[in-house]
């Protein structure tokens, strides 16, 4: 007999996969793009840098509990010395592969294209002279070497900043033998500098800033012998923790917290491969880190900054062909969007269709004198946003504007605080959601006077209101005039603003109240239907699957006969295809040109099909610690389109897909010999791109 979903959430299953190791496996799949011969060279470098950026965030957010357990010598529990050792070993292997690809594949390939980052030992006399001149003019005036002694202790080192540590011989100006000095590298300096044609010839030659400083370190310590040195970078725990029950002003508390984020607990130390044991041990001691937190790298300690090379070299042939998304196919530019929505809902599939459709909806609402009110949630919108400018214009025109701003959107806190303060200053009603929860739901509600009544129009989305990421992430959004959906949206906005009890919703599933339970009940019902002999099918597409109660419900449904396909881009703790355990479940991950971000859930029994879109991944935090929404697509034509474009295309992908193996590893997808290679993203680009160009 199945337990309740509350009981199920507390059952430990040792056969589930490790979440953090699964997340690293995802980054291994991303890294694979940097070795694919069918990917342009600049894009291969970009994917290498993406992995470095992902690993930075992994350390900033996920590493601290493992490290703290290891430092406390905790031998049991979810976080322990053992979990730290496993994680550290996997991270060292991944980082070693990164630098192997960088040194052995990418740099030689760039050199063959006449593009080189020239090391000091490989520079000509003329090039060395130019580098010295650049150092003296642009770099040296900004460097302050700090010699360590009792009155100059080890300086504060900011998160992910570039620094040099130097060991010196001889006495300083005061006759002392203090041997260690630190040189901080200002973040305002470019990390790559292009050499002029007079010393580079007809090639694109660059020098790294770290190489420029390294070549002239001795010049900073006149009268001393430079004995040992290394570049280094420390990564710090950066997840802001604010006790919302103990602060009177969350916005002010977060702004103050941002000032200290750069100096949280150290979790990783990166040094040059040739760093001496003496200097490495000295740094580990300063940052209170164990040996396994030390990463010796054969190259720049911050590969993320190499994305500058892509911007500095104008070689379109080495990049992806540009793709311009089509204006949404269902939207007619010459007709009012409100009038179109009275006829049927509109679905937009980004980035194959452009975010301009969403902006057009808001722009019409702002300019329409019949529109009285606009309500919108903001999770991530970026520092420069046309959407926010439109909301500001709506306030100027006298409309009632209510914006639910999530101040705690990780690494977007400062931008969101700035937007909140700007909107409040001009008279918008700004709400910060519910204490203890993040408002992650994406929705916009427009109220318009039509005759003697008020009519609502809504927009719901799986992704953020961010024009920049809308060009890079796959997301599904829906515009609707459905009275049931828009009435529920109104209730959700009132609940977030007033924090009164949420009335019963009729067409929306909302976390943390109903979504988790509704999904588990749906999975249980499909399992029971399969056990009764009915043909039952589930396909779910999401970014992460780590909620144990949902995982156990999926496993139970599969064991009862439901055929289940899970399209999970990132971390997945459900082991697929394990004989006698998860035989009916297949897990695949799509890593493509665009970041897969849409959440789509499909349920079928017999001929009856239900399809839902959602802002929520199947993670515990999304189900119980965030405000999330899911909604059904009921229009038959739109259902077929979502199923075809978001599910069927990805299940048939034989180019960018990875299938999970019974041991939890992933292998590139293999299709039957009679099928042609098919990439879902490329097919959708062709479908809409051709239409755009015609």
Q: How far apart are the first and last CA of the chain?
A: 58
State the burial class of residue 559 (Cβ atoms within 10 Å of its Cβ: 0-12, 13-18, 19+).
middle
Pairing of strands 608-614, 599-605: antiparallel
Give the C-alpha distances (Å, rounded to integers) separating 348 from 503, 597, 646: 29, 14, 12
User: Cα separation of 565 and 372, whole Å?
Assistant: 44
Closest CA to 331 of 365, 360, 366, 370: 360
Q: Count CB neighbours of 337 within 10 A.
A: 23
DSSP 626-662: EEEEEEE---HHHHHHHIIIIIIHHHT--SSEEEE-T
User: Cα separation of 65 and 83, whole Å?
Assistant: 10
Q: Is the distance from CB of 524 to CB of 552 less than 8 angstroms?
A: no
Closest CA to 361 of 405, 328, 324, 395: 328
Determine phi and psi for 144, rounding to 5 degrees: -125, 100
User: Cα separation of 378 and 363, whole Å?
Assistant: 17
**Catalytic position from the list 216, 440, 495, 516:** 440
Q: Is the distance from CB of 690 to CB of 604 less than 8 angstroms?
A: no
DSSP 608-628: EEEEEEES--BSHHHHHSEEE
User: Cα separation of 333 and 177, whole Å?
Assistant: 75
DSSP 663-688: TS-EEE----TTSPP--HHHHHHHHH
User: Cα separation of 457 and 337, whole Å?
Assistant: 10
Sign for the pseudo-dihedral over CA of 295, 300, 303, 305: positive
User: Cα separation of 99 and 111, whole Å?
Assistant: 16
User: Cα separation of 91 and 11, whole Å?
Assistant: 29
Strand partners of residue 503: none
Q: Count CB neighbours of 502 within 10 A.
A: 15
Q: Is the distance from CB of 101 to CB of 48 less than 8 angstroms?
A: yes
| 438 three-state secondary structure | strand
Chain position carrying tokens 């993670």: 619
The whole-angstrom distance between residue 431's C-alpha and the CA centroid of its chain comes to: 25
- What 3 state SS string does 78-96 have? CCCHHHHHHHHHHHHHHHH
State the burial class of residue 429 (Cβ atoms within 10 Å of its Cβ: 0-12, 13-18, 19+).
middle
92 is catalytic: no
Active site residues: 440
């Amino acid at each position: 007999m199945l337990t309740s979903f509350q009981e199920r959430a507390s059952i430990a299953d040792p056969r589930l996969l490790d979440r953090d190791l699964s997340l690293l496996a995802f980054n291994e799949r991303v890294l694979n793009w940097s070795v694919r011969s069918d990917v342009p060279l600049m894009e291969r470098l970009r994917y290498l840098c993406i992995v470095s950026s992902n690993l930075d965030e992994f350390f900033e957010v996920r590493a601290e509990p493992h490290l703290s357990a290891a430092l406390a010598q905790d031998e049991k529990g979810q976080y322990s010395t053992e979990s730290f050792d496993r994680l550290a070993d996997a991270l060292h292997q991944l980082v070693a592969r990164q630098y192997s690809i960088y040194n052995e594949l990418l740099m030689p390939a760039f050199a063959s294209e006449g593009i080189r980052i020239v090391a000091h030992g490989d520079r000509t006399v003329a090039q060395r002279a130019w580098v010295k001149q650049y150092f003296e003019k642009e770099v040296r005036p900004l460097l302050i070497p700090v010699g360590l002694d009792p009155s100059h202790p080890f300086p504060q080192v900011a998160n992910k900043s570039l620094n040099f540590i130097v060991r010196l011989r001889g006495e300083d100006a005061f006759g002392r033998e203090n041997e260690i000095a630190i040189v901080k590298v200002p973040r305002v300096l470019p990390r790559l500098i292009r050499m002029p044609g007079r010393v580079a010839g007809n090639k694109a030659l660059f020098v790294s800033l770290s190489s420029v400083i390294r070549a002239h370190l001795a010049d900073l310590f006149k009268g001393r012998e430079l004995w040992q040195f290394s570049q280094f970078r420390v990564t710090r725990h950066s997840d802001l923790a604010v006790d919302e029950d103990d602060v009177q002003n969350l916005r002010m508390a977060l702004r103050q917290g941002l000032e200290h984020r750069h100096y949280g607990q150290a979790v990783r130390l990166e040094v040059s491969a040739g760093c001496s044991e003496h200097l490495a041990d000295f740094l580990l001691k300063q940052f209170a880190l164990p040996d396994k937190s030390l990463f010796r790298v054969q190259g720049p300690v911050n590969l993320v900054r190499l994305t500058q090379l892509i911007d500095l070299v104008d070689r379109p042939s080495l990049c992806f062909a540009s793709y311009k998304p089509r204006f949404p196919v269902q939207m007619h530019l010459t007709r009012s969007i409100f009038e179109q929505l009275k006829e049927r809902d509109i679905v937009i599939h980004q980035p194959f269709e452009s975010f301009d459709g969403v902006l057009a909806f808001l722009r019409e609402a702002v300019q329409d004198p019949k529109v009285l009110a606009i309500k919108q949630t903001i999770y991530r919108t970026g520092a420069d946003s046309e959407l926010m400018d439109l909301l500001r214009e709506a306030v100027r025109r006298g409309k009632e504007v209510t914006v639910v701003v999530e101040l705690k959107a990780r690494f977007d806190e400062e931008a969101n605080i700035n937007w909140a303060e700007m909107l409040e200053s001009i008279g918008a009603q700004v709400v910060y959601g519910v204490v203890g929860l993040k408002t992650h739901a994406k929705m916009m509600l427009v109220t318009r006077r039509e005759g003697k009544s008020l009519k609502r129009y809504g927009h719901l989305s799986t992704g953020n209101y961010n024009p920049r990421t809308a060009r890079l992430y796959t997301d599904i959004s829906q515009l609707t005039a459905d009275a049931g959906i828009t009435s529920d949206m109104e209730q959700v906005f009132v609940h977030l603003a007033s924090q009164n009890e949420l009335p019963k919703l009729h067409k929306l599933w909302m976390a943390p109240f109903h979504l988790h339970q509704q999904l588990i009940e749906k999975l249980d019902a499909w399992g029971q239907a399969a056990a009764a002999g009915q043909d039952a099918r589930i396909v779910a597409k999401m970014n992460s699957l780590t909620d144990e109660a949902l995982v156990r419900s999926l496993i139970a449904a599969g064991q009862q006969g439901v055929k289940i396909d899970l399209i999970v881009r990132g971390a997945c703790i459900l082991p697929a295809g394990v004989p006698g355990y998860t035989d009916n479940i297949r897990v695949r991950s799509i890593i493509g040109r665009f970041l897969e971000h849409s959440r789509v859930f499909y349920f079928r029994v017999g001929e009856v099909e239900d399809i839902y879109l959602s802002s929520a991944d199947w993670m515990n935090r999304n189900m119980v610690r965030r405000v999330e929404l899911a909604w059904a697509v009921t229009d038959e034509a739109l259902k077929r389109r979502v199923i075809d474009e978001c599910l069927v295309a990805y299940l048939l992908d034989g180019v960018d897909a990875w299938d999970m193996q019974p041991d939890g590893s992933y292998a590139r997808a293999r299709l039957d010999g009679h099928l042609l290679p098919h990439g879902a993203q490329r097919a959708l680009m062709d479908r809409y791109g051709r239409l755009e160009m015609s």
